[in-house]
């Protein structure tokens, strides 16, 4: 029947970031470095649970240990390290979003910097953007970081001048097989004004609607530009590349929505624009909404060829993680889709954390294994950020296949 439970908060060793009084960790992001075979976990450090109290971005690295006898995977995490370079004086860093460029072996850590304690709601109601689009880079798995780069005022990104505010991710970006870097973004765009009617980012109206879109680079991260927004209302999002039998690349977008179900869209031109997939209720949204995470991974062989070896497929499947409870942020579920172009192909959820569950991020760590970070706790989801490692066979068993 599926929906088997695994209550992570009962296992203390699964904690990555633990919240305390005046020290709260929220908004997880996860990256798997295949070159070094380590995980890199990122989070916001806040004074409390409120967005306006964010102070810094922090990280840990995780050494992956595979037991060849038991086939179990564990992770040994490093001490917490602030990413001090992810900073602008007078601004708070938010929404970590890592994306890796495999040719130069450079990890870009994207984030936004928001002025002072200005809230997102104030920016939306006033039409005054106080967010900056920034990144830092590392070539040594976070031991050293570059100075911050602020992309906000670049001429290639002038679309952002017509936004009340925007944010990246949160969660991970991706690099396509062809080399394009893609960072997921959502922005509150004006419903009734044009840039010519505005000055200093401030709009004379207060009607703004959020839309997901991509930020992409085709030159290893030297220059960036925005794609076109999804037509439907959509917020925090993640994207993944998949292939069908034609070997054609598609970019799938899964976004937070307020319509009772997730917003799904697909791009046939590497994320430059997206077409909405048909409405379905296989991926419900939670109450007022919650961020979720999606990854693609090689189609897993479930049969053997004439020689008795697993048959190979160029296709990719999707794995999605999100609170499965429609009424509140609870019961974190893993969903599988073996036909990514079909929104009705999503499985029932395998509940990997029963109880309070919030934001999360997934990473595929090869050989059918996955890792995820998740906000969770006994009373509320902001008590800690924990991790779980699981494999495809566990997913199949959990969803009842």
Please give the structure tokens belonging to residue 160: 């952002």
Distance between CA atoms of 149 and 57, rounded to whole angstroms? 15
Catalytic residue among 44, 51, 241, 361: 51
The burial class, CB within 10 Å (0-12 / 13-18 / 19+), for 191 is exposed
Distance between CA atoms of 148 and 269, rounded to whole angstroms? 30
Catalytic residue among 375, 381, 383, 394: 375
Please give the structure tokens belonging to residue 38: 């380590």
Q: What is the DSSP string of 26-88?
A: EEEEEEEETTTTEEEEEEEEESSSSGGGEEEEEEEEEEEEE-TTT--EEEEE---EE-TTS--
Distance between CA atoms of 343 and 341, rounded to whole angstroms? 6
Q: What is the DSSP string of 228-297?
A: PPPSS---SEEEEEEE-TT--EEEEEEE--SSSB-EEEEESSTTSS-EEPPP-SSSB--TT----EEEEE
Annotation says 247 is catalytic: no
Distance between CA atoms of 296 and 362, rounded to whole angstroms? 10
Catalytic residue among 359, 364, 387, 392: 359
Distance between CA atoms of 210 and 326, rounded to whole angstroms? 21
Please give the structure tokens belonging to residue 107: 């990890």
Annotation says 51 is catalytic: yes
Half-sphere exposure of residue 85: CA atoms within 13 angstroms, side-chain side: 18
Show Cβ contacts of residue 295 under 8 Å, excluding neighbours closer than 6 positions.
Answer: 172, 240, 318, 319, 362, 363, 364, 370
Annotation says 375 is catalytic: yes
Distance between CA atoms of 303 and 305, rounded to whole angstroms? 7
Question: Given the structure tokens 């779980």, which residue do they identify?
Answer: 388
Q: So which residues are the catalytic ones?
A: 51, 359, 375
């Amino acid at each position: 029947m599926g929906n088997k439970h695994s209550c992570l908060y009962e296992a203390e060793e699964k904690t990555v970031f633990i919240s305390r009084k005046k020290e709260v960790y929220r908004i997880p992001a996860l990256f798997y470095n295949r070159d070094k075979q380590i995980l890199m976990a990122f989070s916001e450090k806040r004074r409390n649970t409120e967005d306006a109290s964010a102070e810094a971005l922090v990280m840990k690295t995780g050494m992956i240990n595979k037991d060849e006898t038991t086939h179990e995977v564990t992770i040994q995490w490093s001490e917490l390290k602030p990413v001090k370079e992810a900073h602008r004086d007078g601004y708070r860093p938010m929404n970590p979003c890592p994306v890796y460029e495999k040719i130069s072996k450079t990890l870009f850590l994207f984030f936004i910097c928001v002025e002072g304690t200005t809230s997102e709601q104030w920016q939306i109601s006033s039409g005054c953007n106080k967010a900056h689009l920034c990144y830092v880079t590392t070539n040594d798995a976070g031991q050293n970081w570059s100075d911050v780069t602020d992309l906000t005022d670049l001429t290639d990104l002038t679309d952002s001048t017509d936004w009340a505010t925007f944010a990246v991710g949160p969660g991970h970006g991706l690099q396509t097989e062809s080399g394009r870097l893609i960072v997921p973004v959502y922005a509150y765009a004006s419903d009734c004004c044009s840039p010519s009617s505005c000055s200093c980012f401030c709009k004379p109206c207060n009607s703004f609607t959020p839309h997901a879109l991509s930020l992409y680079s085709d030159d290893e991260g030297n220059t960036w530009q925005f794609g076109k927004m999804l037509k439907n209302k959509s917020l925090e999002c993640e994207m993944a590349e998949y292939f069908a039998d034609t070997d054609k690349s598609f970019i799938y977008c899964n976004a937070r929505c307020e319509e009772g179900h997730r917003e799904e869209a697909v791009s046939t031109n590497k994320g430059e624009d997206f077409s909405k997939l048909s409405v379905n209720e296989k991926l419900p949204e939670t109450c007022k909404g919650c961020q979720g995470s999606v990854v693609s991974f090689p189609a897993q062989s479930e049969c053997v060829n004439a020689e008795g070896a697993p048959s190979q497929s160029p296709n990719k499947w999707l794995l999605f993680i999100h609170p499965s409870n429609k009424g509140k942020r609870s019961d974190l579920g893993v969903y599988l889709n073996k036909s990514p172009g079909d929104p009705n192909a999503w499985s029932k959820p395998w509940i990997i954390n029963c109880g309070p569950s919030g934001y999360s991020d997934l990473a595929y760590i090869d050989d059918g294994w996955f890792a995820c970070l998740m906000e969770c706790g006994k009373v509320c989801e902001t008590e800690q950020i924990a991790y779980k490692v699981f494999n495809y066979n566990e997913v199949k068993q959990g969803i009842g296949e």
